[in-house]
Amino acid sequence: MARWVLIAGMTNTRLLAGAVALGLAVGGTALTSGCREKGPAERAGEKIDRQIDKLEDAVDPKGPAEKAGRKIDRAIDDAKD
């Protein structure tokens, strides 16, 4: 393939560079245009997660450090959204 690029000359190199640039632009746009709002399934999943945490705490109570760590983790997750 390298030989074909050398024989074809500058035209194919410019075409390849343009295709790469276009691919990066489209890929970047697709990655940054995600949904910002939580859907009903995600909210339901978070509610289930919290209920499971409460059940685990009832069966095996967590210490204050573990509870604080969980709150910090949730705050970080909420800040990301």
Owner of token pair 């970080």: 76
Could you say which DSSP state residue 51 is in? Answer: H
Which parts of 1-81 fold into alpha helices (H)?
2-8, 10-32, 40-59, 64-80
- Total length of the chain: 81
pTM: 0.44
Instruction: Count other C-beta atoms under 10 Å from residue 29's C-beta.
Output: 9
Place of tokens 């499971």: 52
Per residue in 10-52, pLDDT (tens digit) is: 556 677 777 777 777 777 666 566 667 778 998 899 899 889 8
Specify the pLDDT at position 44.
92
The whole-number pLDDT of residue 48 equals 93
Does residue 69 surpass a pLDDT of 80?
yes
